[in-house]
Amino acid sequence: MMEVLTNPNEFFEERMKGEVSLRIPVLIVLEFKNGDNHHSAALSVPLNVTESKKSAELILTGLEVESMPAAMNVYKITGDINNAGLEEAKSVVMKVGDAEGIEAVHPYKAYFVGLLSPDDFSSFELDVKVCENVTKVPLIIEYKDEDGTLFSKAEYVSIEPHQGTTSSGEVPVSVVILGVVIAIFVIGAIAYSWKRR
């Protein structure tokens, strides 16, 4: 006969400390009979329970930030989300994180990716409106494991202010220069044709 005994008080004390790994003392008592002789042996074995090294590991690659010309301080963030882990990530959702001066906007306030198998990837797109002083936007990655446990992590993407755009309806300098060059060419062509007559 074999008995396995644990001390629940020690288990719960370790669990309440919020440790990622747990050490659970397990006492194994082995009783056996060899003929008329009774024998007993006890062995205390520590059982270490740690975080799985096979879990899903989601990383972002190919991030691009594009300013939207139709709206001021609105950006489209695109990229790929990759599962570099050894287990599936289920119900993967990409979101813009809550922060001061940052607001997710339609049509892509959040992006549902779904199931990501190991060594798999998917593209995503998010739209965000930021205040002028914001330089980084938090992207939240949420997913579930096979037991339904929800995991969440944040990655940050840099936002650069609009460059080369005008908000007051002014014509950019390059367009003015191009217009002047074309006008000079047209006037020169007309003058040359009149002179030949």
Model confidence at 77, in pLDDT bands (50, 70, 90)? very high
State the DSSP string of 113-125.
Answer: EEEE-TT-EEEEE
Model confidence at 168, in pLDDT bands (50, 70, 90)? very low
Helical H runs in 71-144?
none
pLDDT score, position 80: 94
Show me where the domains of the chain are located.
2-49, 58-158, 168-197
Please give the CATH architecture assigned to the domain spanning 58-158. Answer: Sandwich (2.60)
pLDDT score, position 73: 83
Of all residues in the chain, the percent with pLDDT exceeding 90 is: 32
Query: Distance between CA atoms of 136 and 94, rounded to whole angstroms?
Result: 16
Highest averaged pLDDT of the listed ranges 7-21, 47-61, 156-170, 180-194: 180-194
- Is the pLDDT score of 190 beyond 50? yes
Q: What pTM value is reported for the model?
A: 0.58
- Spatial CB neighbours of 124, under 8 Å, sequence gap ≥ 6: 78, 79, 80, 81, 94, 111, 113
